Structure 1
Amino acid sequence: MQVLQVQLEVGADPAEVGRARRWARSRLAGCGIKDDEPLAETLILLISELVTNAVVHTGCPAVLRMLFGGPGVRVEVADASDRAPSRRQACGEDTGGRGLELVDGLADRWGWQREGAGKRIWCEVDRADEAAGHAPATADGPRENFGSIREPRVYL
């Protein structure tokens, strides 16, 4: 099985989060995931959180990748900061500190790993095939069937 990978370079500017969302919406539509589907809404929220974390907390440019294939969609954000992501405990009216909690609650799996001098944080969302009676996978850890990746296409 082949996996389609698309990626976008994101600058170290909070305004880039909106651009990343618009780009992701167009890539999802190009892969047959309609804008009003729950899967699309979940993926856009996850992308927004991961790109925001990269831009705001590292101050570094990042690369957003989406991988389509297999039973779901994988989102990755790589940046040049070696600082590990950390969950924060938001209180009451705090305007931040909930990003990784949202990722944990929305994604079927997520994690991070060192990549060169920086890191990559990833999450996966399964496509539930309700018509065939398949339930989403519940295995933890990285999915191995995202292995046959074609050359990335870069959209700037």
Structure 2
Amino acid sequence: MSDASLRAVGWAQSFPVSRGVRAGREWARAHMESLGWAHTDPDAVDSVVLAVSELVTNAHHHARTSAQVVLTWDGKGLHLTVHDSGPGSPAPRSADDSSVSGRGLAIVDALADTWSIHPTADGKTITACFKGPDDAPCSRRET
């Protein structure tokens, strides 16, 4: 195993329902900026921040639980993982034009290079992966 394969950086934070999603967006943007993406790929920063916003909103609104958020940069892609304690596995659905909700997973699907849902003993974990600024392939990582 090469030394480069061992390098990764990550952050974790819990966002309780009472704090809303704004704190999650600000937290994600700050960490994306610390990776230098704000200068090299500002669109990717916006995509990750929007995905954080949608997934934390889903955890708060549908599961009615805190959202445990982890961002991991492994040199190939940024992995956004959000866990909540709600039952069931959601699926993207079509929202009609008059609907004010129901687009969260469809937005994540449109923004992320890959994403997946994994049921857990105490809820579910959703992981979305975004390519790095140099267009390196985003490896799929099972959780």
Coarse TM-score class (shorter-chain normalised):
0.7 to 0.9
Number of matched pairs: 137
Q: Does 1:102 align with 2:107?
A: yes
**Structure 1: segments with no counterpart, 5+ residues:** 147-156
CA distance in 1, matches of 2:48, 2:67: 18
**Residue number among 125, 136, 141 corresponding to 1:120 in the alignment:** 125
Q: Match of 1:154?
A: none
Q: What amino acid is aligned across from residue 141 of structure 2 in structure 1?
A: R
- Superposed CA RMSD: 2.1
Q: Does 1:16 align with 2:20?
A: yes
Letter matched to residue 89 of structure 1 = S
Amino acid at match of 1:25: R
CA deviation vs aligned residue, 1:1-60 (integer Å, no higher than 9, x gap): 2221201101023x5200100111111111222177111011111111111111111101
Measure, in 1, the Cα distance between the counterparts of 2:98 and 2:11.
36
User: For residue 143 of structure 1, what is the aligned residue in structure 2?
Assistant: 141
2:62 matched residue in structure 1: 57
Counterpart of 2:42 (choices 18, 37, 51) is 37
For 1:81, the equivalent position in structure 2 comes to: 86
Q: Match of 1:66, as an amino acid?
A: L
TM-score under structure 2 normalisation? 0.85
1:128 CA drift (Å) = 4.8
Determine what percentage of the aligned residue pairs are the same residue: 30
SS in 2 for 1:34: helix
Q: CA deviation at 1:88?
A: 2.5
Higher relative contact order (CA 8 A, sep 6+): 1
User: What letter matches 2:131 in structure 1?
Assistant: D
Structure 2's unaligned 5+ residue stretches are none
Residue 22 of structure 1 aligns with an amino acid whose one-letter code is E
TM-score of the pair, normalised by structure 1? 0.79
Moved over 6 A (4+): none
- Displacement of 1:124: 0.3
Range moving further from structure 2, 31-40 or 111-120: 31-40
